Structure formats: C-alpha cells, structure tokens
Amino acid sequence: MSTRKLTCLACGQFNRVTAERPAAAAKCGTCGARLFPKKPAEIDAKILAKAARADEVPLVVDFWAPWCGPCRMMAPEFAKAAETLNGSARFAKLNTQDHPEASARYNIRGIPMLAAFSGGRERGRQAGVQRAEAITGWVRELA
C-alpha cells in the first residue's frame, strides 16, 4: 500500500495518506481539516514553505493581494480549477500583502502569479489572469 505525504493547509502538520483512500475522506490527524479542501485554502508563508518542501501531491499556489483587480477577477476561475482537480492536486492562496517575505523567497515580481510545487521543488509558474480551463490544463501538463 503506497502512501503520500501531505502538509495540512490549516495547521501545518505532516500527514501520511494512502493512495487508495478517496481524497475526500482524507483528514488531518491533528486538527481534522480536509487535506484536499474543495476550495482554495488561505495559507501563510510558513505553511507554504513546509508544504513546498515536503508534499508529494501537487500544490498550486495563487500569489495575490486584495488591492489587485486582476487577482480578484481570477479568484473564481482559480476556485473552479480547484474543484475540477480536487483529489489530484491541492490549491491554496497566499496574500502577498500580508506575507511579503513569501514574495521575496519565491521571487514573485508581479501578481497574480500561480506556482506549482511537488516533491520538494517548484514545477512551474504562470503569470497573469488565467481561466479555469487554462489552469487545469497547465496543472495536468505538470503532473
């Protein structure tokens, strides 16, 4: 039975999940939060660093800010992509205004910026507003 290591996007705790278990049933052993949330999870820089380093399932992060019009336009499209790919990838949002250290660490020069992480490294990034279909296609290509 194979397992995948995932970081809880709510509390930051590491979890091991069997690949045979349905993604919807996977919950954090510490806080009980879903490990595959249906909607993008709001995360901070600390949880992103931990998940980007250790997770074995693709994590797609939307770097955004509340004052950014294009970021607000893309938010519903990002949520649609998260729903479509639920179980095969996880989606999170990081507010660069609240966490400027993440912008520096991940070399974010403009927002909205999507970055995908898996297996301890960045797999790719996309700049600018994207439609849900483009996001899902991009994530599937990275897998």
State how far the Cα of 100 lies from the Cα of 108, in Å rounded to an integer: 10
Residue tagged active-site, from 11, 28, 31, 68: 68
- Over residues 96-111, the pLDDT tens digits come to 999 999 999 999 999 9
Average pLDDT for 120-143: 94
Q: Is 68 a catalytic residue?
A: yes
Q: What is the pLDDT of residue 1?
A: 61
Structural domains in the chain, CATH included, are: 38-142 (3.40.30.10)
Please name which of 23, 14, 16, 61 lies closest in space to residue 42, comparing C-alpha atoms.
61
* Range list of H helices, 67-117: 69-84, 100-105
**Confidence check: pLDDT of 143 > 90:** no
71 tagged catalytic? yes
What does the pLDDT read at residue 12? 95
pLDDT in tens, 50-96: 999 999 999 999 999 999 999 999 999 999 999 999 989 999 999 99
Q: What is the model's pTM?
A: 0.94
Residue (of 47, 53, 20) closest to 33 by Cα position:
47
The pLDDT tens digits for 29-54 are 999 999 999 999 999 999 999 999 99
